[in-house]
Structure 1
């Protein structure tokens, strides 16, 4: 599916109508035409015409419900519409420092296969990362017995600052270069359209579709991994900012000329709560010897090591201050703390959450709820796949809208 030329006003209207109908069907799972008309406020005749086109191109299909014999006399049973699962296969990729996680979904969002491939290095050159991603996808497809060439779209989530609209990566902890047209590089290796976004945005999308953010129109997700990220959902949509660099919670400044962050600047929140930052402080204090991973440092703190305890105590206080700032700026209904590192509770203990509440502007109304969701990289990959499903759907709708003329 290639990119079409600029749409006319009538094309845009047709595209918008078709996308609205597709979105309504996807959200409902299955729905009758008359109910689509009610939900979208599009006339029944227009809904019938649009759905006929979507059926013709294989994006949706009809379901005739099983009707008891006694009900059959009352007339023809209401026919429902659903997304056609076999219309497309979509891949979702999550790039972390230790593993690349892959899911392949059908067009309805049902899981076909998932796979995880360990990494020997967390940061690498652009072409090396592209090849590594495709190797992981190839392994997943082999596992399912499907051809990589049958994938219609691929969503990729990675840490860093990026412009999702352009698939452009300004900076990522997974790349040893800055200002990379990563979509163009990856497209040289992939047989399908590529859709790249900050991994925290894709976690927010996954939470909205599959997790604790379902049926919540406005919420914030804080991701806790190698670094710290944030995804913001406002009015059911991901907020990315003008340059695609919005919601960089981990790179908000908490101390002037403070600790060095992996982004190259000083005083970022991440430089005090990221796992690399905690290990750096512990090993500097120990003269460069000792703790190789966060688990060892956690065990030391639980075992009574006062230095380790002080490191986690400061990290918790810094994190509480950051959360309070988020609440004071956005006043969200819900904050979801998400990520694999939540097996360590130093950033979401009762003490940290209580400290956050003390620093929030006090009014006669309850503060936002804080919920913890400890899920693995495969769910992050599912968020990337969900993003790709939306984008592949939009491309198909656009092609259909322009073909009408």
Structure 2
């Protein structure tokens, strides 16, 4: 009995591996799947038959002229079945909800931006706001909300993703929330909750600069500072789901107050709110409420505004050096609305980062900026939902086989 259980577990791993290979390739023949995954051709044939019966994949017969076709049966490729299980992704920001519906192949069907009435609310209020936003999005896609197979939600904060449990988030007015239980009362389908920076890493892995990399790091810079880590092609979360909290790494003892409630966090010197707080403390006149105005002041030569950005850049460079010294990733991607600000991408900042790095005689980790809108964060959330649907269907196959 134990041996049979082990065999089925191995087969489950094989199903997930083969499905992922098909998704990455776009379309691929069975013999090439076997080479890519190092699974025997016979096992690939058996597993792909199961995946087809479940509706996860489908065949593509090449439309070749008969005279060009090779002898025998033409090579049949496999691809993800796009119309099988549409999913939704939601990015919860401070002032907006960005939503997106994609088909099972990841093709965008509709997106929508919804204005929030409150940056911090009860779990029930957040669930209702997401519901309203998704109803509007599904209407744009020409479908019912009940057609959606799963919903991925990206939140800033400390989140135990496997349990959909929020230890703390600036979007919620309380700590230690079983947000999964709240969402279950509102939505008809599974809702998977994840730290939003991890979802950006997922989006970069599937659609962006991390597509062909096994080890890379995404750092998000907006109202707060987040980090998503990909190690050996997998998102790293830590044992409690609170790993990779780059923004809450301590850079000064008893330093500036962070929105998490502690002092001396990197975010308290680099996040949007931190820069505005510092600027308003040193620059006379009307209170500054947005970074664009502060940045224009710096560009026009205001020394105090320049000093605010210069300090943030130095703090950020030191933080980047620590990340490289600990993880030695292939690539660091700076993502989010703030990634375009020059003080985070200046040669001087990179040079200062390298000055704090362990010195060896090889090229240092590359750092690039990738600015994208909230809809791409939502696409990362949708990708997380796609993973959830695939895992659920593979579990069903294992259950039926036992």
Alignment TM-score > 0.5, same fold: yes
Question: Mean alpha-carbon deviation: is it higher for 337-346 or for 208-217?
Answer: 337-346
* Aligned counterparts of 1:283 and 1:328: Cα–Cα separation in 2: 34
Report the counterpart of residue 395 of structure 1 in structure 2: 392
Which aligned pairs between 1:89-100 and structure 2 lie closer than 5 A?
89-100=86-97
**Of residues 155, 158, 167 in structure 1, which corresponds to 2:164?**
167
**Of residues 375, 379, 385 in structure 2, which corresponds to 1:378?**
375
Report the counterpart of residue 43 of structure 2 in structure 1: 46
* Aligned counterparts of 1:246 and 1:55: Cα–Cα separation in 2: 37
Query: Cα offset for 1:346?
Result: 1.9
Report the counterpart of residue 59 of structure 2 in structure 1: 62
Which aligned pairs between 1:120-131 and structure 2 lie closer than 5 A?
120-131=117-128
Residues 295 and 396 of structure 1: CA distance in aligned 2, closer, same or farther (over 3 Å): same
Query: Cα offset for 1:344?
Result: 2.2
**Of residues 178, 181, 191 in structure 2, which corresponds to 1:181?**
178
TM-score by length of 2: 0.96
**Of residues 306, 316, 319 in structure 2, which corresponds to 1:309?**
306
Report the counterpart of residue 14 of structure 1 in structure 2: 11
* Aligned counterparts of 2:283 and 2:351: Cα–Cα separation in 1: 31
**CA deviation profile, 1:120-141 (whole Å, cap 9, x unmatched):** 3211111111111111111100
Report the counterpart of residue 109 of structure 1 in structure 2: 106
SS at match of 2:276: helix
Residues 404 and 318 of structure 1: CA distance in aligned 2, closer, same or farther (over 3 Å): same
TM-score by length of 1: 0.95
SS at match of 2:97: strand
Query: Cα offset for 1:286?
Result: 4.2
* Aligned counterparts of 2:330 and 2:213: Cα–Cα separation in 1: 8
SS at match of 2:206: helix
What are the ranges of 5 or more consecutive residues in structure 1 without an aligned counterpart? Answer: 1-6
* Aligned counterparts of 1:65 and 1:108: Cα–Cα separation in 2: 19
SS at match of 1:372: strand
Query: Cα offset for 1:300?
Result: 1.6
How big is the alpha-carbon RMSD for the aligned residues of Structure 1 and Structure 2?
1.5
* Aligned counterparts of 1:348 and 1:118: Cα–Cα separation in 2: 30
**CA deviation profile, 1:266-300 (whole Å, cap 9, x unmatched):** 00000011111111122223468421111111122
**Matched length:** 399
The answer to whether residue 9 in structure 2 is matched with residue 25 in structure 1 is no
Which aligned pairs between 1:280-359 and structure 2 lie closer than 5 A?
280-286=277-283, 289-359=286-356
**CA deviation profile, 1:236-280 (whole Å, cap 9, x unmatched):** 111111111111000000000000000000000000111111111
What are the ranges of 5 or more consecutive residues in structure 2 without an aligned counterpart? Answer: none
The answer to whether residue 204 in structure 2 is matched with residue 198 in structure 1 is no
1:153/1:194 contact within 8 Å kept: yes
1:11/1:402 contact within 8 Å kept: no
Report the counterpart of residue 146 of structure 2 in structure 1: 149
Query: Cα offset for 1:302?
Result: 1.7
Query: Cα offset for 1:332?
Result: 1.2
